[in-house]
Amino acid sequence: MANQRSDSVFAGSIPKLYDELLVPLIFEPYAADLANRLASLRLERVLEIAAGTGVVTRAMAAMLSDRVSIVATDLNQPMLDYASAIGTRRPVEWRQADALQLPFPDAQFDAVVCQFGAMFFPDKIKAYSEARRVLRPGGSLLFNVWDKIEHNEFADTATAALREMFPGDPPLFLQRTPHGYFDTELIRAQLKGAGFTAKPQVATVTARSRASSPRIPATAYCRGTPLLNDITARDPARVDEAVDRVAAAIAARFGPGAVDGKIQAHVVSVER
């Protein structure tokens, strides 16, 4: 069965569909939000961890001064390859790196940024500790995490549809991992455990997720995330059926044409 190890596997067809469908569906507004927050800081060097296909990297390259150097890293080389192939408006250093063991000396960066990656860290305190280590004194760790699945309507609808499809062993990737790390008090405690002494600032940001048809979010979630690993572990012959079922459920809830659903996330910032 798929498990938390497969939750971090972004390979095969996933990177392309992730970037083409899921990025505009749910990630772009939060990427712009993070880049805008960074733009208000005094920066010379920024490290991005869990960069994925580079949506935040591209936003930073567009919004931050050309004098700010950007290093973008990810554990998954296929995601990083896809991001670097798309490219950015100015040079960025792309580098494979594990957030739990960053390959950089101490106190190298003015900011460490991470978009929707913290949920995947197997040891979150270790990852936060590593981010703190590579930050210069006064530097900032800035990241976001999804709120609980009930506040993210397409993901919630998809999970409910797949629970009906596999009632004995539902594929719960979306609930378990992307939407399983929403407790802001836990996050505060883990940042403290990682050595941060400043009080973290948390903002809850609501946005809208829009698509021209229900099939777009259905395909994005079922084929463009590790939910695909969850489904194929149960029955690889039923992936198309899973997309159909999720599309039908989204159509039933939001209509058969253009769809518009709520998304919600927490943005966390803390100074070293």
pLDDT tens per residue, range 144-156: 999 999 999 999 9
Q: What is the pLDDT of residues 251-267, one digit of tens each?
A: 999 999 999 999 999 99
- As a whole number of Å, the CA-based R_g of the chain is 18
pLDDT at 14: 73
What percent of the chain clears pLDDT 90, i.e. is strictly above it? 90
Q: So what's the pLDDT on residue 161?
A: 98
The total of other beta-carbon atoms located within 10 Å of residue 166's CB is 16
CATH number of 6-271: 3.40.50.150, 3.30.420.40, 3.30.2310.20, 1.10.8.60?
3.40.50.150
Q: Are 51 and 73 a contacting pair, CB within 8 Å?
A: yes
- In whole angstroms, give the CA distance from residue 97 to residue 74: 5
SS3 content of the chain, % helix, strand, coil (to 5): 45, 20, 30
| Residue 2: band (very low, low, confident or very high) from pLDDT cuts 50, 70, 90 | very low
Domain ranges of the chain: 6-271
- CB contact at 8 A, 22 and 85: no
Residue 19: its pLDDT value, please? 86
Q: What is the pLDDT of residue 145?
A: 98
Q: Among the listed ranges 56-60, 75-79, 138-142, which one has the minimum average pLDDT value?
A: 75-79
Angle at 29 between CA 184 and CA 50, to 5 degrees: 60
**If 0-12 CB within 10 Å is exposed, 13-18 middle and 19+ buried, where does residue 37 land?**
middle
